[in-house]
Structures are given as structure tokens and as C-alpha cells.
Amino acid sequence: MAGKLTHIDGQGRARMVDIGDKDSTARTASARGIVRMGTAAYAAAMSGGGRKGDPLRIAEIAGIMGAKKTADLIPLCHPLALTGVTVEIVPLDDESGVEVTARVRTEGRTGVEMEALTAVSAACLTVYDMLKAVDKSMVIERIELLTKSGGVSGEYDRSKRP
């Protein structure tokens, strides 16, 4: 199995993948996550205010910052010059929480899947932090890659999986 993992060399040692010979192409990725919470925390999230500020807008900013810091957090990720990051947090229809979606773009030699996933993770954790005084039982769930484009491995779309 170790030979099939790109971040493991033939001797089983971790390595940062050499992308020097790859072509620079447009790369995009999107990811999603959900924060489930009780009714009091949901009401606080939807109120748009609190002692710390608007929980959802602050979490969106945290997600953007997370995408920009991915290489500092994930040991073998390359530092990337991102050309765009958006994070959107919307209420779930059943009022049980919020859905976080991140979209990341760059022009480069490696993909931005980890940046999109890190953006969602940071935003979800910030929602938790902003609302934990009201509900410590919140659950962060289903952080997943939705789409990616660009590069040798081509397109990926979770909705088209068999």
C-alpha cells in the first residue's frame, strides 16, 4: 500500500510530493460540512449578534483564513498562492444547524482540495467556538470534498459517484 500513496516514498518515509515538473493549470475545489446544534444555539446563530460578534460571519472569515494557512497546518501540503476563497454558511431547512460550504481557486501545479477542506473545518470549529456558551453538545459532521477540477487526476464530483 505504501507504494501507492504519493506522500510516502519507496522506503516508507514521508515526503512532500515534487510538483516541479507539473504544468500550471486552473485548479478548483469545493467542500462542505455541517454543524448540528440545539434550538437555543440555533437561535443565537441566527440572531447575528453576540458579545463576540456575528457568529456566522466571523466563522466565514475564519474559513478563509484557514484555507490560507493550510500548508502551516497539514504537514505535507504545499504553500499555495490562492486566487479566490469563498465560505458560505447557511441555515439548515430543519433548523437543526448550519451548512458550511467553501470554494477555493488557484492557478498552479497542485490542487486545492485540502484548502477547501481546511476552510470548512476552520469555519465549523469557529461556529462551535462562537456558540459553545449556549450549547456544548454541538456536533460537527460530514466534512467532505464536493468537487475538484484541474490537474492530472481531472474532475471529481461527489454527486456523480456510483
Mean pLDDT of 140-159: 94
Classify the C-alpha dihedral 72-128-60-149 as positive or negative: positive
Higher-scoring residue by pLDDT: 1, 103? 103
**Catalytic positions:** 129
Q: How confident is the model at residue 50 (pLDDT cuts 50, 70, 90)?
A: low
Across 136-158, average pLDDT: 94
**Model pLDDT, residue 128:** 97
| Range from 9-13, 30-34, 35-39 carrying the lowest mean pLDDT | 9-13
Measured N-to-C along each axis, helices 39-47 and 55-68 cross at an angle, to the nearest 10 degrees, of 80
Burial class (CB in 10 A: 0-12, 13-18, 19+), 92: middle
Residue 2 has pLDDT above 50, yes or no: no
pLDDT of residue 1: 36
Rounded to two decimals, the pTM is 0.90
